[in-house]
């Protein structure tokens, strides 16, 4: 399974994009801003292709396991240079992420936020989990288009 995140708009606070699964737009994304030198908790990850695996350890995993009966692990991007524990997860504002990718079904370009995040997360999580149950490799390619 191939996910593609296309970044559409960015400023000094946040980045808005769209996420596709197998060439079909699924939802909007929200990330931190670009910084040439990484600023902890305020910098988006570099463009590139990353494998996604399920991480069934850590505090965030426990939180999601308690919240969702379908949860089998966090959507964890692998081998992101200078970053640890980069996930795809729920959130609405840049303050909800520390380099991770947030998903939502609506986007507000003025206040740099996304909405209906839990519903969007559930929808993509089920699709990604299905790929895992079929022993498929899951990767995400991130590009800038601005």
Report the pLDDT value the prediction gives residue 98, as an integer from 0 to 100.
Answer: 92
- Rounded to 5°, the CA angle 35-104-122 comes to 120
- What predicted TM-score, i.e. pTM, was given to this entire model? 0.96
Q: What is the pLDDT of residue 10?
A: 94
Please state the separation of Cα 115 from the chain's center in Å.
14
How many domains does one find in the chain? 1
pLDDT at 21: 93
**Cα separations in angstroms, 3 against 6, 107, 125, 137:** 10, 19, 12, 11
* The pLDDT value given to residue 13: 92
Q: How far is CA 124 from CA 28, 42, 103, 121, in A?
A: 11, 25, 9, 5
CA distances to 73, 84, 100, 139 from 132, rounded to whole Å, are 11, 22, 21, 11
Confidence at residue 146, expressed as pLDDT on a 0 to 100 scale? 79
Rg of the chain, C-alpha, whole Å: 14
Predicted pLDDT at 122 = 98
Q: Which residues of the chain have pLDDT under 50?
A: none
- In terms of residues, how long is the chain? 146
Which domain does 41 fall in, by range?
A: 2-144
Task: Give the pLDDT score at 99.
Answer: 94
Task: Output the pLDDT for position 44.
Answer: 97
What pLDDT is attached to residue 22? 85
Tell the residue number behind the tokens 């964890």, with chain if given.
Answer: 76
């Amino acid at each position: 399974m191939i996910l593609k995140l296309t970044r559409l708009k960015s400023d000094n606070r946040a980045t808005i994009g769209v996420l596709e699964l197998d060439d079909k737009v699924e939802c909007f994304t929200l990330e931190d801003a670009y910084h040439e030198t990484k600023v902890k908790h305020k910098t988006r990850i570099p463009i590139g292709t990353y494998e996604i695996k399920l991480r069934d350890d850590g505090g965030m995993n426990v939180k999601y396991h308690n919240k969702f009966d379908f949860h089998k692990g966090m959507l964890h991007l692998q081998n992101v240079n200078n970053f640890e524990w980069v996930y795809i997860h729920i959130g609405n504002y840049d303050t909800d992420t520390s380099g991770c990718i947030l998903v939502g079904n609506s986007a507000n370009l003025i206040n740099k936020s996304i909405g209906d995040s839990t519903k969007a997360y559930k929808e993509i999580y089920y699709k990604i989990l299905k790929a895992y149950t079929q022993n498929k490799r899951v990767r995400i390619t991130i590009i800038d288009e601005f």
